Amino acid sequence: MFKKAVILMIMSALAFALLNVFVKKLTHFNVYQIVFFRSIGSLFFTLPFLMHKKISILGNEKFLLLSRGFIGFVAMTLFFMSLKHLSMGASVSIRYISPIFAALFALILLKERVKHLQWFCFAIALSGVFILKGFNIEVNSYGIFYALLSAVFTGLVFIIIRKIGNKDHPIVVVNYFMIIAALFGGVLAISNWQNPVGIEWVILLSLGVFGYFGQYYMTKAFQIGEVNQIAPLKYIEVIFTMLIGVIWLAETYTIIGLLGISLILGGLILNFMVKRRSSFDKNSKTKMN
């Protein structure tokens, strides 16, 4: 089962990486139009699934679901905006510091404790962001700002999803997100709408397909594999994105840029290991008692 979970996680990372690459390829389109097509594409999968399984589309925690949808829309829009200004590797890496903001929100809103060692891990990750910008004048400040703000809103999304818990089916949560993103993205795109031509239709509609299967494969991987073994593999998305960007879009990375990205990923992986160890110790004490 572990081998299958690893394969599924790699497939998920590849799907998300291709999504990132295609968004980067479509930067001549208005960002809201990209959000609209990204959302519409996924709705082709989520709505039939809910109808087939006879699961209520409205869900139970309506306020939280609406909040998750709107905040998720803002986070996704900001991330796509960052791709217009930064290399894909930098954008994706910075977006992944969202667990730091999730921990801060959990500390403030849920009164959850953050271990001292976790703060050290967060400092390592954030130092990567500062190195990425501070020592690299070619890195766009707007791109860094959009990516960081996207990570903040994504961190808040994690807290809302935690509050929803098992009260609603995961696909109901995703479906709300996609409907709200499609509505807001579609309306905001009207004034700057650009009709796709030829293959652009395929690329735009494929965004939702890659997004859906990236999420689906990741969920399946977590269902059949142990979280502490599978979760770190999600960062392969950064590597896939960078490799495809270098080969297909001729993106380049400086030594300083690679160092910054490495520190971001290293800090996040260390944080995960600290949390895993803390959870293991807590479970061990519970069993002894």
Q: What pLDDT does 168 receive?
A: 87
* 121, part of any domain: no
* 220, part of any domain: yes
pLDDT per residue rounded down to tens, the chain (289 residues): 667 878 888 898 899 899 999 998 898 899 999 999 999 999 999 999 999 999 999 999 899 999 999 999 999 999 999 998 888 888 888 888 887 888 888 888 877 777 778 888 888 888 888 887 665 556 678 888 999 999 999 889 888 888 888 888 888 988 999 999 999 999 999 999 999 988 999 999 899 999 888 888 887 776 676 655 666 677 788 888 888 888 888 888 778 888 888 888 888 888 777 766 665 555 555 454 5
Give the C-alpha separation, 1 to 94, whole Å. 31
Range of the domain at 60: 2-93+146-256
* 106, part of any domain: no
* 206, part of any domain: yes
**Neighbour count for residue 206 (Cβ, 10 Å):** 16
Work out the mean pLDDT of the chain and round it to a whole number: 84
Per the structure block, which two tokens stand in for 257?
């840029």
Q: Is 126:283 a contact under the CB 8 Å cutoff?
A: no
Measured in whole angstroms, how far is the alpha carbon of residue 250 from the centre of its chain? Answer: 24
Give the C-alpha separation, 82 to 142, whole Å. 7
* 193, part of any domain: yes
Q: Phi/psi at 27 (nearest 5 deg)?
A: -65, -10
Measured in whole angstroms, how far is the alpha carbon of residue 237 from the centre of its chain? Answer: 10
Give the C-alpha separation, 116 to 201, whole Å. 49
Q: Supply angle C-alpha 269, 275, 281, rounded to 5.
A: 135
Q: What pLDDT does 260 receive?
A: 84
**What is the total count of domains within the chain?**
1
Give the C-alpha separation, 227 to 165, whole Å. 17
Give the C-alpha separation, 161 to 142, whole Å. 28
* 240, part of any domain: yes
* 37, part of any domain: yes
> Could you tell me how many helices (H) and strands (E) the chain has, helices first?
12, 0
Only one residue has tokens 């990486």, namely 17
* 272, part of any domain: no
Q: Is 230:32 a contact under the CB 8 Å cutoff?
A: no
